[in-house]
Structure 1
Amino acid sequence: MCFRSKIGESDTVSPVVESRYQMAQKLKKQKRKAMQQHQSNLERETSASEVAPNTLNRDLLALSTIYYRVLLCAITDFFAKYQDTRFYRILFCTTQPAHLVLLIAVVTTVTLVSPYQSSDDGASSSGSSPLTNLVYLTAFMMHFGAQMWMTFVSGLTLYFAVPRHTFGEVQRVLFPKYFGMNSILSAITLYIFVSLHPSNTWDTCIALQVGSMVTCFLLELIIRLYLTPPLLRLMSAKNAIETAAGVGLEIGKHDPGVLIQCPHYVKIHQAFRKIHMTVAIGNMLTMACTLIHAHYLASKICML
């Protein structure tokens, strides 16, 4: 703008104006060079992406991953068709099915541990089949391993490594599966153990094992049915408010920022923390019950 006016008015150009003009020309050249470099990088990436499918087609791991994803998408689409039905809403959006599941679990557990006269008074774990032992040990090991990994490895590592909202999204997906899978594994372990140890053969040690396994199973089931759904709803509501306020990207800490002055957010956060603390305490109690049974199994191992 002022370059042309000043140059037109006088044949002499001041050193300051000339210096600025040279700097602007230099910046334009650097910008043009950077754009050309960026364009060449895009062309190389495009050509590499055209060759990649042929390479992936010969990769067994890539093929298995693709087919597994296709299978998961098909299952997801299959269940998505029934999410708008009345049966689905009654089953998953109300508390009545949770009451029914818990009632069935309690009745089944009481039936298993109630005193009865076995047809074989000498029944014990020594009479179990190798297949039964395999199922029992596999269920227990998966249960114990999932507890250790979720509590001490996955949870702590992600909390101190990724933004808080990213950590929350991961936990939102894992929580229902974690407690659901653990309750099923606890039920399998309890059923096999009680089947191989009739109540008329119990001593103090066996009674302690059965009590800890029953406690573990019912706690995990209650957490899955009654605590996980409201926890996830509060998490979603809290994250939505934090995203709108521009917070939630901190790592390894909770910094609400300006939301500390919002009564609605504070109320949601307090409710979330209360349920989350209850879930954490329940999870630690189930781990204690699992460790009791792990100590029992360790005392029964005979090393050659």
Structure 2
Amino acid sequence: MLSRTADSLFWLARYVERAENVARILTVGHRMASLAHSLGNAGNEWYSTLRAAGCEDGFFGKYEAAEAGTVIAYMVFDADNPSSIFSCLETARRNARAVRTALTVDMWEALNQSWMRLRDLDPAAIIAHGLIDFLDWVKERSLIFTGAYANTMLRNDAFFFTRLGTFLERADNTARLLDVKYHVLLPRDEGVGGALDYYQWQAILRSVSALRSYHWIYHDRLQPWLIAELLLLRPEMPRSLRASMEQITRHLDLLADTYGGKRGECHRLAGEMYARLCFGRIEDIFQSGLHEFLVAFLDQTARLGGEISRLYLM
């Protein structure tokens, strides 16, 4: 496969996953802001939403304050924001057009229909009264695209690169969400274990579709260390860091086998990250610092993406 084709498939999957992740982050930000207001607590939920999405610097280059209307507009429709939902789907479709013959019909139709529908929407109406329905639609379209490629692509190198993009982006997003809740979100005047703290953790689990999974596994009320364990170390949780890294290492190995056993730094780094999650214990992570662990993981994820590009996509 040509490296530019592999690169387009890799980034196509990353941008579709990123659009879904931004929708999930905005959903939890909206829910947290509503909860804070109902509990009489003016927190920093919209600022935390920006930080979770990695959009903080770009936003404050255009706006002075993180308020609901400006944050939603910037993260949903702003073409100058490369991580807005609009920009993600536009970039994903541009990558798809560049490798149209490498896609199945179902993949192309899922993505193209999403883009055409997005262009016809009224931003003002969505910001005013249709945000949650719109975000649910974005998540639904991403799931349709992911299901389309999972069920229609041949299991060859095109599928492996697409899968790598999906799970690398997913791991990055889960780490960001957990770090923002633990390190940023809780107001200083609200004690850990209070009502706002509880509902914030609940919203985090809802944002990754894991609230029911948490109760299924732990049979306990929401506990921060158990939520962190679920999202970091549990292999049965499909959006956990461990589950994502398992998929990344697996598909890197499949690529190595496809290309004559050639391996590089990306294989070593992915294996090291996966082993740390397989054999890590949540009490040790908390003792050394959850925030520090997550920041190191995000740095390694960025490095891993660079190493994959150097070996396969250039």
User: TM-score, with normalisation over the residues of structure 2?
Assistant: 0.34
Which protein shows a greater Rg?
1
TM (norm. structure 1) is: 0.35
